[in-house]
Amino acid sequence: MASLNVGNLGEYLREQRRNAQLSLRQLADAAGVSNPYLSQIERGLRKPSADVLQQVAKALRISAETLYVRAGILDEKERDELETRAVILADPSINERQKQVLLQIYESFRKENGFEVSEYAGDLAYADDVDATADGPRTADGSDASPKDHPSS
């Protein structure tokens, strides 16, 4: 079964390399691996480590998680969860506190829907210590929404 995954990985890498219009040698140089080793991966003869897959993914400008799934290192569901988290964490339109709160809500919904709380929930540890109401209500952008600064009529 592992060889099936490795073959599938090799075919996928070859396709991605060709789509990127890179020769085997160019990709090997960009990824920092040897040309013969990369050739063996593409032909399904070698199973690369997660580190090598990450280097190759970076050189191809594709998701390392996708390669991990193809290689059988990561489960498809785990990849989807990781990608969801990555998108949230990469969003420049919300601040760090908002990102942590959003991830906490995401975990809560997953748990409510019967999914296990992931090992990545530990990344939310400091968000658990934050009392969302400690400073009073907040607006969507995280600013203080309390009426104390507004004159009463």
- CA end-to-end span of the chain: 73
- Average pLDDT value for residue range 11-35: 95
Burial-class residue 151 by CB neighbours within 10 Å (0-12, 13-18, 19+). exposed
**Mean pLDDT across the chain:** 76
Looking at the chain, the whole-number percentage of residues with pLDDT higher than 90 is 39
- Average pLDDT value for residue range 118-124: 46
Nearest to 44 by CA among 14, 78, 88, 86: 14
At residue 118, the pLDDT reads: 54
- Average pLDDT value for residue range 123-134: 38
- Average pLDDT value for residue range 46-50: 91
- Average pLDDT value for residue range 71-93: 80
Identify the bridge partners of residue 144 per DSSP, sorted by sequence position.
138
43: confidence class by pLDDT, cuts 50, 70, 90: very high
Residue matched to tokens 């090997």: 28
At residue 54, the pLDDT reads: 92
Token digits of residue 48: 């690369």
Nearest to 32 by CA among 55, 49, 13: 55
Residue matched to tokens 């949230």: 88
